[in-house]
Amino acid sequence: MSLTLDEVINKVNGIFAAYDLASAAEDLVGNDWKAGKVYEAWILTLVLDRLEQIEGFKVALTGGTKVHLKSSPGPINTGYPHFTLSRPGGPDYRVWTDVEFATLSFSRSGKLGKPGQAHRHELDIVIVQDGVDGYPSHDDVVIGVECKNTGFKKSMARAVLGVRRELSLLRNPAATPFNSWPATAVPAEPPSVLLVYSTDPNVNTYNEAGSMFGVEFHFEPLP
């Protein structure tokens, strides 16, 4: 039997608390969060667990001045809690939620300063190297994750492929920083990994096409 939304929130907050080295974490997911945002938090727990268990990263919660994880789109904001990833030999990474990145088209335009609305796109979860702030550039993104707690439509797959195009160009497979998960190489330059999770099993039907461009589609229900 699946859990209620309140039970999922409690489960997710319990998982996050285990990453708090100071043992003083507030509930990072608010009780008033909608199901879509709770699903993003659930997927974040899975991503962190796989990076820890498979890739050997040490995961730690870094607190901010706010109570909850960032849940509205915009630049990296260090005032919000987020997670750090570290392992011997480095480099270190930071994991953020609801961040807009500056697109490949913005980079090619030669413009400076804050990217306009057409030149930035949101990712539900983004992983960048430590030290990146503001609107990360397309070539700062190491992993991008999209989460869909809804029926997965073809228009969503098209949108994800558009995000892929604004992250990188199609190239022969290039190495990622990862030894096993989520991918050791992707056909993209720069070689960012783009993951899509949905509660609809139909999402898996897009994997054959997605794999040609370095996009992975995964069915992942709420617990």
DSSP string for residues in the chain: -PPPHHHHHHHHHHHHHTT-TTS-PPPSS-TT--HHHHHHHHHHHHHHHHHHHTT-PEEEEE--SSSS---S-SSB-TTS-EEEEE-TT---EEEEEEEEEEPHHHHHHT--SS--GGGEEEEEEEEEETT--BS-BGGGEEEEEEEE-S---HHHHHHHHHHHHHH-EEEEEEE-S-SSSS-SEEEEES--EEEEEESSGGGGGGHHHHHTTTEEEEE----
Check whether 25 has a pLDDT greater than 70. Answer: no
So what's the pLDDT on residue 41? 97
Q: Tell me: the pLDDT tens digits for 89-137?
A: 989 999 999 999 999 999 999 888 899 999 999 999 999 999 999 999 9
What angle, 0 to 180 degrees and rounded to 10, lies between the N-to-C axes of helices 35-53 and 5-17?
30
Dihedral sign, Cα of residue 62, residue 65, residue 70, residue 73: negative
Q: Is the pLDDT of residue 80 over 80?
A: yes
| pLDDT above 90: residue 47 | yes
Q: Is the pLDDT of residue 154 over 60?
A: yes
Q: What average pLDDT does range 22-43 have in this prediction?
A: 86
What is the pLDDT at residue 65?
84
pTM (two decimals): 0.95
Q: Sorting pLDDT into bands at 50, 70 and 90, what band is 139?
A: very high
User: Can you tell me the mean pLDDT for 162-171?
Assistant: 97
**In the chain, what are the domain boundaries?**
5-219
Q: Cβ of 27: how many Cβ atoms within 10 Å?
A: 16
